[in-house]
Every structure is written in C-alpha cells, then in structure tokens.
Chain A
Amino acid sequence: MRRSTKAHRLALAATSALVAVFMLAGPTLACAGLIGPNGAVNLLRTTTFAGYHDGVEHYVTAFKFAGGGGKFGSIVPLPGIPSDVVRGGDWTLQRLVRETRKQLLFEADLRAAPAASGAEVLLQTRIDALDITILRGGGADVGKWATDHGFRLPPDSPEVLDFYAQRSPIFMAASFDADAAKARGQSIGDGTPVHFTIPTENPWVPLRILGLGKTPGATVEADVFLLTDHRPALLPRPGLVPGLQLAHSDAASDSLLADLRSDKGMGWVPSSAWLTQIAIDADADRLTFDLAVDASGKDTPSMVAAGFVSPRPPAPATPPADLSRIGLALVVFAIGAAFVLGLMATRPAGARPA
C-alpha cells in the first residue's frame, strides 16, 4: 500500500508541495457546505526545489494548471526577501524527479514491488498566468491583505501565519488565473515554474503550511528536494519523527548537475553538491514544524527555524487583567485573612467546633 502511494506520488510528477492553495473568492461565500462536505479547502499540488549555494537560496516551484476556470491563490512563507523573481527553467523539477525516481525504482525492484493594512508590498510581478506579490508583515497583516485581495483563508490560517511571521515576516502570495491560463493555451497539467533567489544565512523549508486548511485526520504527502554544498544537517531528523522519511541522500551525480546547470537561471549550480529528498507522509494535525537545514557543515540546524522554539512569546489572546484591580484585591484579601486569623486566635479556651 505504501509503495503504491509512493508510486502514485511519482506518477503525479514530483511533488514537493510547499504551497498551500486557497480558492480566491469570487462572490463571498459563507455558511458551511459550499466548498466541500467537510468544509475542507482543496490544496493544489505543486513541485518545489530548494537549492543553497554561496549564501543564496534558489527556490523553484511550479504552479500547475488543473483545468476549469476561476482563480486560485497561494501563500508561501519565505526565509528572506527575494532579490529576484523570474520564470523558472523548463526541466529542473522534472529532472530532479527523474533522478530520484531512478533510485526509487531500483529499491522497488529489490523489494519486488506532502496585514492588516500594515502588510508592505515589496515586489509584484506577473509570470504567465500567475500574479506574484512579495509581502512583508505580521501574520495578521498578511492575512488581512490576503482577505482584502480575495483570498479565502481557512480557519487555521491566523495561527499558522503568526507561526511563520514570528520567524520571517516575508510571504509570497500568488494568484493563478485559470481563465488566463486557458486563454494562453496552457493544457491541463502544464506548470508555470517560478524561481525565487533569496539571500539568506541558511535555508529552511516550510512544512507546517502543507497542512493548512486540512481537516483532522487528513494526510499531507509531499517530497522536498534539497541541493546543498555539503551533506545537510536537518531538524527534525527524518526517520525520527512520524511522517518524515529520508528518501534520497547522496552526492549529486555529474549528469544531474550538468542538466540542472543547463536550465534557464540555473547557472549557479556548483560542480559538486549533495542531493537530499525528504518524503512526507504525515497526519496534517501532527505536522506542526518546519524543516531546519544547516548547509554550513557545522551540524547545527536551528530549533527556531524548525519551529520548535519561538523567537518571541506570542501575543496574549486576551487583554491582561487590570493590575490595579488585582492589587486592590490582594490588599483586601490580606486584610481579610488577617481578620480571620485574628478571630481564630481569640477563640475561647476549650471551645470545640460544632
């Protein structure tokens, strides 16, 4: 069963789905039952690759045209402000899948057998039928911006957006216009690859966002591809937490590196690198962390980047109690307590409790 799931994932073409996709509201729809019987918001699978070299993360993801009309949107947390956002190469993602599929098929033979108004728009660009906006702001800022621009966010989005904003206030909002894609002649399954160049000290991969909008009991299936100068140290370590498996970890082949380097915008690919693939097959409600990556060779992936430690305490849900009121109450309580003790101390000798 598990093998068939993996095979299915590969057949779906790759899968590093780091993007949670929400439907963009046309008319606002309220009350339950308008999206699905369980209220779930559908997620669109995308393919993503994170490469890290010379202090720069290269983040390549593809938005696939799934047919139909209307608009789809997505919000992705980013580790830093992109210095460039361009159309990605044509075969990078497919080539990575082919590289790791080969390995997987071999294994299969042996076995016989997933702002408020305060949001600042840093960058806007259009790539094919995709409108991309890079935002800076807190979780509420980005969430408000998204709702103001027609994104219909699921109920867990306020907490998840805060979770990311505490560590990096940079988000990418993408709006995919299926009608425009159709008008451009895109066929179902055609993807629009987008390449983000993000200077950052260390890359991290958002995993928790994959569970956004999923109902309890739903699973997240994805594959994350990493290309780093050295063998990366990861937190959490795949295999030690449920739902995260190390599917591939080896020196990248010369042919893979040559093929990647020859794709558009991929000239940064070094002459030697380490290729890692993490397969995710986890319960959505247990995927409450991200993947911290230490690509420096120091073997110290960040607890904060993994989401295990908050860089600052969360904002209080309710306003703090009136301190003056509490102070007054404590004074009255102390006087009362003294009065009670006084009464007890003056109890007549030989008196017995009733």
Chain B
Amino acid sequence: MKRRFALSSVAALLAAIMVWAVGGAVLGTSGSEPLQVEITIHYSHYEPAAFRVPAGRPVAIVLRNTDPIDHEWIVGDAALHARHRTGTEPYHASRPTEVTIPALSTITTVVTFASPGSLQYICHLPGHEAYGMVGTVTITP
C-alpha cells in the first residue's frame, strides 16, 4: 500500500514536471502569484483557443498580435457577442474585456472573471469570426 502510494506520488510529480516543462497557457498558478495567460494571434487565429482560469482572481491576459493587421479580443456571453456582431464601435480600449490589438503589437489586459462558467472570446472585425477567430475561456470554481 505504501509502495503504491509512493509510485502514484512519483508519477504525479513527473506528470506535473512535464506539463511545467512544455509550458501551459496559465502561468503563475500559485496562490500568491498573479495569474497570467498568454495568447498569441497568428494568421488570424488565437493560440491557444481555450484556457481555464479560476473565478474571482485577477488574470493578466497578454495578447500578442503577430499579424500585420489589427485584431480584437472581446470576451463575454452570447448577448455581448450578438451586440458586437452588428456594432459600430471602431476601437476598443475602455473595458478590460474588450481590447483592440493593433498590428504587430502586444497588449495586456487584466480581467477578473466573477463566476464559474464558460465564455467565448472573439474578434469582431469584419470576417474575422467566420475565419475562425474564436476561443473559449472556462472559469472554474
């Protein structure tokens, strides 16, 4: 029994080390460190297109646009995205959940997701959503 516990512990430790080595989307997961998520925008796609964060903690989202065109990162529920699909707001800078990332630039925004659930992040520039600029953030309890 003791041996099986030791084997399981070592296996779990090894798995954690490999995950750390490859690099996850969410960094600094210890309680004291601020959470950070890095999203690269390349060829008009988000990389990663999904990540998980805990509810109620500030998360620094680093958005790195490697494309020579502007993009957006707008996160929210279906109603918010429906509004943006027909919206006319040319530039997003006033809300942390709605960000314009100019061509070849990096923007960091800090978001606290209040409650558990799932939200989409989408670029609402013409044609970008249809081209696949959609991602999902899962907020865990």
Contacts and interface: CB of A to CB of B under 8 A. Distances in A.
Contacts of B104: 116, 140, 144
B128 A39 contact: yes
A143 B126 contact: no
A7 to B, nearest CB: 31
Contacts of B85: 31-33
Interface in B70-118: 70, 72, 84-92, 100, 103-104
Contacts of B17: 329, 332-333, 336
Given A30-B72, A32-B85, A336 B10 contact: yes
A157 interface: yes
Contact of B91 (A28, A216, A333): A28
A32 B126 contact: yes
A157 B89 CA distance: 23
Contacts of A31: 84-90, 124-126
Given A40-B127, A329-B18, A29 B23 contact: no
A141 B87 CA distance: 30
B18 to A, nearest CB: 6
Given A28-B90, A32-B124, A116-B104, A144 B68 contact: yes
A4 interface: no
A32 B40 contact: no
Given A155-B44, A216-B130, A343-B6, A30 B125 contact: yes
Interface of A: 27-36, 38-41, 115-116, 139-144, 146-147, 153-159, 161-162, 213, 215-216, 317-318, 321-322, 325-326, 328-330, 332-333, 336-337, 339-340, 343-344, 347, 354
6 contacts: A35-B126, A116-B68, A144-B104, A155-B123, A159-B43, A317-B66
